Structure 1
């Protein structure tokens, strides 16, 4: 991506006209685009991750069980019982050749084996969508007469019309409504796929943590506001779509 000095960039903006009116108008031919978000918002991405979650539901359940077992082992290695396994406590266990360490390593290997098919399926789906990204971006650039695309964090403020992320997502949806989740034999992801996949997983993890906090806050608020004698009936929440345990 071409880099501009603040002076040059300010001069560029000053010398161009700002367009207003239709929602699709661009500001001085400049657009912002979040590549990762554009891919994550596609129908193909949602469909693939839901399918992977269903296909590998047993793996995810077994991973959760193994993690609980690991937590139980860690609790036994936590000699001062402060619920914080320190490096010193681990070093002491290693020095004493504590057999629990062997169990710990075995369970971690088992988790890695259970995660492998999930990670492979997810990465293959992400790469399949990413392969269509460049064409979708070029389509939007041509349609909207864009001269420059910057990442959203390059601006302190910009009107909504500058962001073409949804437009790129829509273009991908038309070209690739679904993707397969089973890669061919001996398939290996591209190097660029690995970086993109990690970004996606990190965003999903962050979103899950935020949602968990919101759920806890909502539950606490409901408990505080409930009448002690006759609590109001609540409608059970719809079951969430199964999500694969890849992390």
Structure 2
């Protein structure tokens, strides 16, 4: 799920807040001007494909729609997070007070406070993850639909720009915007997939989970041979 994680990071998804995903973290696709008809030299260009996905119409629309469709879950998770913070605050306040007392064993007080806080956080994290599980599945469902169209968008943009070799920006020390194919790919992707479904079918699992389940089913058959 490396690609999934990178796209989510580019979209600035932080904890339970889907609103943070709208932050313009993926600047390359949005800021890069259109490359010339023949990109770069000898058909070479660069593109940040994860940034393209994060800036696509389908991805951004899904973020906005998710705020409405999953509002109950998101609100419940935020409320739970606030309740956890309310539980933790008295522990922190008590530690601050106790450490100021003459002869206080600060290390022991800190260890005790940390243990209490950690227990609350671990329990709360599990509860929040359960609350937002439908949202996580929606994230994965949206990305899978977009990723299924991305390869075709890349090929179409490369063909139109006369590009025969497309490189990842991470592998490039320096390049001008003339080599950047982000906008062309983004245009192709937006044309072919302006929107996606955000609610997965009942029982749907991400491709990685489906593949893992398939491998587990095949393992007993292979062992019996």
TM-score, normalized by length of structure 2?
Answer: 0.63
Contact 1:42–1:169 (8 Å) recurs in 2 = yes
2:109 & 2:38 partners in 1: Cα distance? 61
- Backbone CA RMSD of aligned residues: 2.9
1:87 & 1:117 partners in 2: Cα distance? 41
Q: Where does residue 229 of structure 1 map in the other structure? A: none
Instruction: Report the count of equivalent residues.
Output: 165
Change in Cα spacing, 1:102 to 1:163, as seen in structure 2 (3 Å) is closer
Q: Where does residue 127 of structure 1 map in the other structure? A: 144
- Provide structure 2 residue ranges, at least 5 long, that are not aligned to the other structure: 1-34, 98-105, 210-225
Q: Where does residue 77 of structure 2 map in the other structure? A: 63
Counterpart selection for 2:175 from 144, 158, 180? 158
Contact 1:31–1:164 (8 Å) recurs in 2 = yes
CA shift, 1:30, in A, is 0.9
2:107 & 2:200 partners in 1: Cα distance? 40
1:149 aligns with 2:166: yes
1:65 & 1:87 partners in 2: Cα distance? 32
Residue-by-residue CA offset, 1:149-202 (whole Å, 9 max, x unaligned) = 11123333322121111111111111111100111222111239xxxxxxxxxx
Counterpart selection for 1:112 from 129, 132, 140? 129
Q: Where does residue 92 of structure 1 map in the other structure? A: 112
TM-score, normalized by length of structure 1?
Answer: 0.58
Contact 2:73–2:132 (8 Å) recurs in 1 = yes
Change in Cα spacing, 1:58 to 1:185, as seen in structure 2 (3 Å) is closer
2:40 & 2:118 partners in 1: Cα distance? 60
Counterpart selection for 1:178 from 188, 192, 195? 195
CA shift, 1:42, in A, is 1.1
- Provide structure 1 residue ranges, at least 5 long, that are not aligned to the other structure: 1-21, 193-247
1:26 aligns with 2:39: yes
Contact 1:77–1:90 (8 Å) recurs in 2 = no
